[in-house]
Amino acid sequence: MKVLVAVKRVIDYNVKVRVKPDNSDVDLTNVKMAMNPFCEIAVEEAVRLKEKGVATEVVVVSIGPKVAQEQIRTALALGADRGILIETEEKLESLTVAKLLKAVVEKEQPQLVLLGKQTIDSDNNQTGQMLGALTNMAQGTFASEVVVDGDKVNVTREIDGGLRTVALKLPAIVTTDLRLNEPRYASLPNIMKAKRKPLDVTTPADLDVAMTSTLSLVKVTPPAERQAGIKVGSVEELVEKLKNEAKVL
């Protein structure tokens, strides 16, 4: 079966984010960018499905500026077969992303769509679910295990109280949580090979999707800073302070 994986170019997770002094947004000038960590897990899962003989082709799609080709090439180096970039410089809201992905799903007809549960920039955790609604596909969000079984897929989900397993009719959407797998590193030969894999570039207009926006950013501010408190010398002093000063015991 064909597996489609959506990936996003975001700030590298090791970079400390700073808010611009005029509070208009976060400052991303000259900041290192990378593939969203949850998307990497999605790519890894797709590649493992191919290695197990379950998936026949892994197609990776990204939406963003021309440089997002780097993240598609990374996915190709990890084992995906070909890439699609929907090129746009515009700021994207989840609903638009879901509509663009829906257009790709209609064209590619994958049996399984894998996405990260959220990106580490906007922290929305919406796109997979929205894509599920727009394509009328079942969804398994926050997946920690994915088992394809005939015409359905069993997905074990990380939920607040523990784990829940659901059976989804294929085609289906799966969004990845952290414990689904540990992504591999791309080897140098595979990075070289990835350069020759096909990567098609398209645009929202080609896909007939209007770029609408309903959310405007009023301001972005740093979170309230916490001040360091005091050091206590002993457990007895700690308990005394918690009882009499902080009054939380």
Partner 1 sequence: MAILVIAEHDNATLKGATLNVVTAASAIGGDVVVLVAGSNCGAAAEAAAKVAGVSKVLVADNAAYEYQLAENMGELVAELGKEYSHILAAATTTGKDFLPRAAALLDVNMLSEVTAVVDADTFSRPIYAGNAIATVKSSDSIKVMTVRGTAFDAAAAEGGSAAVEAVAAVKDAGLSAFVGEELAKSDRPELTGAKIVVSGGRGMQNGDNFEMLYKVADKIGAAVGASRAAVDAGFVPNDMQVGQTGKIVAPDLYIAVGISGAIQHLAGMKDSKVIVAINKDEEAPIFQVADYGLVADLFDAVPALENAL
Least distance CB 18 / partner 1 (angstroms): 8
User: 35 or 168, CB closer to partner 1?
Assistant: 168
Take residue 103 and report the two structure tokens written for it.
């257009």
User: 29 or 216, CB closer to partner 1?
Assistant: 216
CA of 157: how far to CAs of 134, 136, 154, 166, 236, in Å?
A: 21, 20, 10, 8, 43
User: 201 or 238, CB closer to partner 1?
Assistant: 238
Q: Under a CB-based contact definition with an 8 Å cutoff, are residues 165 and 141 in contact?
A: no
User: 66 or 91, CB closer to partner 1?
Assistant: 91
Least distance CB 208 / partner 1 (angstroms): 16
Question: CA 191, CA 196: separation in Å to the nearest integer?
Answer: 9
Q: Do strands 138-149 and 152-159 pair parallel, antiparallel, or not at all (unpaired)? A: antiparallel
**DSSP track, 194-210:** HTTS-EEEE-TTTTT--
Least distance CB 15 / partner 1 (angstroms): 9
Take residue 122 and report the two structure tokens written for it.
């906007």
Least distance CB 75 / partner 1 (angstroms): 21
User: 61 or 77, CB closer to partner 1?
Assistant: 61
Q: Do strands 152-159 and 172-176 pair parallel, antiparallel, or not at all (unpaired)? A: unpaired
Least distance CB 31 / partner 1 (angstroms): 11
